[in-house]
Chain A
Amino acid sequence: MPEIGGSDLFVLEFGDILHYYTPYTTTLFVLALIFTALAILSRPEGQVDIAFGGDAYYAKETAVSEMRFRRFMTIACGLATMGAMGSGDIFNFTLFASLVGITNVGIVAAVKSRHVLDAAYEYGIVAMVATLPLFGGAALILATTGTLSIPALAAGASAVPLIGKALLALGVIGEGMAPFYAAKAEMFRAPGAPYVIMCSLSSLLIFLRVVEIAITI
Chain B
Amino acid sequence: MIEYLAFAAIFGLLLLGLHRKVIARVQTRPGPPVWQEILHALKFSFKSTWVPKTASATLYVGVVLVGIGIWSAALFIVLAGESILILFAIYMLHKVVEHGFGLSSGSPYGKFGGVRSVISAASEIPLFVTIAAIYLFTGSLLLSDITAYQAVHGPFLLIAPPVAIAMYLVILSKMPYGPFSIVESKELVSGYKTEHFGVWRAGISVIDGLKTFVLLYAFVAIFIGAVPFSLALVIMTVILVSLSFVCAVTPMLSPFDSVTIQGLITGAMLAYVGYLWWVMP
Contacts and interface: CB of A to CB of B under 8 A. Distances in A.
Contacts, number: 135
Contacts of B66: 31, 34-35
B55 A45 contact: yes
Contact of B100 (A27, A44, A197): A197
A41 B108 contact: no
A43 B57 contact: yes
Contact of B118 (A2, A28, A181): A181
A139 B118 CA distance: 32
B73 interface: yes
A38 B115 contact: no
A173 B66 CA distance: 25
Contacts of B169: none
A189 B108 contact: no
Contacts of B58: 38, 41-43, 194
B62 interface: yes
A162 to B, nearest CB: 9
A185 B93 CA distance: 16
A43 B99 CA distance: 17
A189 B112 CA distance: 8
Interface stretch (B12-20, B84-92, B230-238): B84-92
Given A5-B83, A24-B89, A47 B99 contact: no
A211 B128 contact: yes
B53 A46 contact: yes
B54 A47 contact: yes
Contact of A4 (B73, B83, B93, B128): B83
Contact of A208 (B89, B115, B140): B89
Interface string A19-41: 00001100110010011001001
B216 interface: no
A48 B121 contact: no
Given A4-B85, A45-B56, A27 B114 contact: no
Q: Which of B58, B95, B118, B125 has the most CB of A within 10 A?
A: B118
A178 B122 CA distance: 6
A200 interface: yes
Interface residues of B, number: 50
A59 interface: yes
B99 A200 contact: yes
A212 B141 CA distance: 11
B226 interface: no
Contacts of B122: 178-179
Interface string A44-68: 1111111000000001000000000
Interface in B206-220: none
Interface in A169-198: 177-179, 181-182, 184-185, 188-189, 191, 193-194, 196-197
Contact of A3 (B107, B131, B132, B142): B142
Interface string B60-100: 10110010001001000000001101100110110110011
A47 B132 CA distance: 41
B95 to A, nearest CB: 7
A6 interface: yes
B53 A193 contact: no
A38 B62 contact: yes
30 contacts: A6-B142, A23-B83, A27-B90, A31-B66, A31-B70, A34-B62, A38-B58, A42-B58, A42-B62, A44-B56, A45-B54, A45-B106, A46-B106, A47-B54, A47-B111, A48-B54, A48-B108, A178-B266, A179-B263, A181-B121, A182-B119, A185-B118, A193-B59, A193-B103, A193-B104, A201-B93, A204-B92, A204-B95, A207-B92, A208-B92
Interface of A: 2-6, 23-24, 27-28, 31, 34-35, 38, 41-50, 59, 177-179, 181-182, 184-185, 188-189, 191, 193-194, 196-197, 200-201, 204, 207-208, 211-212, 215
Given A2-B140, A47-B111, 18 more contacts: A4-B85, A5-B83, A31-B70, A41-B58, A42-B56, A45-B56, A178-B263, A178-B266, A188-B99, A188-B103, A188-B118, A189-B111, A193-B59, A197-B96, A197-B99, A207-B92, A208-B89, A211-B128
